[in-house]
């Protein structure tokens, strides 16, 4: 190996991101509850748009994403000129780190926050700063204490993954107001649609110069396989991000399907309603089995076990039953399992299996 060919500082410190498992060796007909996917898939409008998009497969996509941005703006009552689209909200997070952080800068996030915050910070040579949570919930005071003149970005997922907890808009406002003048607050709203009446922080981002909101089509819209996301914030910041965005980062298929999905808010409402119903049922069923969880505002519950060993044993037992959930040791929660809220059959099946596991033990 040529020791003169070296990656930039920070790259080799990145632990590879591992998504939720999708299969179990020797087990067929598995139920995947590991990646927070919508069990009902996407709406029919989106499926139709996908089929039609084959006729434009030889054409380059629009570079300005105008039609999709207009649809997002109309539905959420936002200025389309302050919206940027990307390959999942992950790419918007990457853009923010590329544009606003680097060596000697710090990127702040909470201890159980999305793993991509650390990865994106290290990729640009910035220093990741992890802040303690309070009982698995974002602690605004702890974040403000951790900030200093080197802080450039602060990432807060609300609701948070993998805990499912969230803080109020008043707390978000207090955080934004208390940040150093050079820092940007990034509100990760990947799960915002699962909360009735919650705007993901859009109103705050509309009037503050230091707040950006990110959203995704991968969760409630059921388009995880296409990888589409968007961000919204001050025009000055969005203009900067567009300078480093690849001109053809989204295909015609992604753009057309996402627009169709965005315009079917009845589907979103139905999925949110069913998720709320089954999330409450699943959390209560697990609690009755002696497996508590914090009140979740997303499409999963974080089941807490007595020890890491018990969580691992339960995970292996569930796999043997053809049920795949997510171990979250990498999120510093080794005694927990994150369980996606599936359809009613899946929820009842996983609760029954955990009951069997607890009975056996």
Predicted confidence at residue 134, as pLDDT, reads: 96
Instruction: Look at 10 and 220; give whichever has higher pLDDT.
Output: 220
Predicted confidence at residue 361, as pLDDT, reads: 52
Longest Cα separation, the chain: 59
**CATH 3.40.50.10190, domain 44-263, yes or no:** no
Predicted confidence at residue 199, as pLDDT, reads: 97
pLDDT at residue 14 greater than cutoff 80: no
For residues 228 and 88, the answer to whether their CB atoms sit within 8 Å is yes
Q: What is the mean pLDDT of residues 128-153?
A: 98
Predicted confidence at residue 26, as pLDDT, reads: 65
| Alpha helices, DSSP H, located in the chain | 44-52, 66-76, 88-100, 115-123, 140-146, 169-178, 202-207, 235-244, 252-262, 265-288, 308-320, 344-360
CATH class of 13-41+266-360: alpha beta
**Where in the chain do CATH 3.40.640.10 domains reside?**
44-263
Tell me whether strands 323-324 and 336-340 are parallel, antiparallel or unpaired. Answer: unpaired
pLDDT at residue 144 greater than cutoff 70: yes
Instruction: Look at 360 and 247; give whichever has higher pLDDT.
Output: 247
pTM of the complete model: 0.92
> With bands split at pLDDT 50, 70 and 90, how would you rate the model's confidence at 303?
very high
**Where in the chain do CATH 3.90.1150.10 domains reside?**
13-41+266-360
């Amino acid at each position: 190996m040529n020791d003169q060919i070296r990656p930039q500082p920070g790259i080799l410190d990145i632990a590879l991101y591992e998504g939720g498992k999708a299969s179990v060796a020797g087990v067929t007909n598995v139920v995947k509850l590991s990646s927070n996917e919508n069990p009902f898939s996407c709406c029919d409008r989106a499926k139709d748009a996908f089929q039609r998009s084959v006729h434009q497969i030889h054409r380059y996509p629009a570079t300005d994403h105008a039609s999709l941005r207009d649809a997002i703006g109309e539905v959420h009552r936002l200025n389309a000129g302050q919206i940027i689209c990307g390959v999942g909200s992950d790419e918007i997070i990457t853009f923010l780190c590329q544009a606003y952080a680097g060596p000697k800068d710090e990127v702040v996030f909470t201890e159980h926050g999305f793993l991509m915050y650390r990865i994106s910070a290290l990729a640009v040579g910035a220093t990741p700063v992890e802040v303690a949570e309070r009982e698995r919930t974002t602690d605004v005071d702890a974040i403000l204490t951790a900030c200093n003149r080197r802080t450039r970005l602060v990432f807060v997922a609300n609701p948070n993954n993998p805990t499912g907890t969230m803080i109020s808009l008043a707390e978000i406002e207090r955080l934004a107001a208390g940040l150093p003048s050079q820092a940007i607050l990034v509100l990760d709203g990947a799960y915002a649609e699962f909360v009735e009446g919650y705007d993901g922080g859009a109103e705050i981002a509309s009037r503050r110069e230091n707040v950006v909101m990110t959203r995704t089509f991968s969760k409630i819209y059921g388009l995880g396989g296409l990888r589409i996301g968007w961000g919204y914030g001050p025009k000055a910041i969005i203009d900067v991000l567009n300078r480093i965005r690849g001109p053809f980062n989204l295909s015609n298929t992604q753009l057309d399907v996402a627009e169709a999905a965005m315009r079917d808010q009845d589907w979103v409402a139905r999925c949110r309603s069913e998720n709320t119903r089954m999330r409450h049922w699943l959390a209560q069923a697990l609690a009755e089995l002696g497996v508590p969880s914090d009140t979740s505002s997303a499409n999963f519950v974080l089941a807490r076990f007595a020890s890491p060993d018990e969580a691992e044993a339960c995970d292996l037992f569930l796999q043997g039953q053809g049920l795949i959930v997510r171990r979250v040791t990498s999120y510093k929660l080794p005694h927990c399992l994150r369980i996606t809220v599936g359809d009613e059959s899946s929820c009842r099946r996983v609760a029954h299996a955990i009951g069997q596991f607890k009975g056996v033990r």
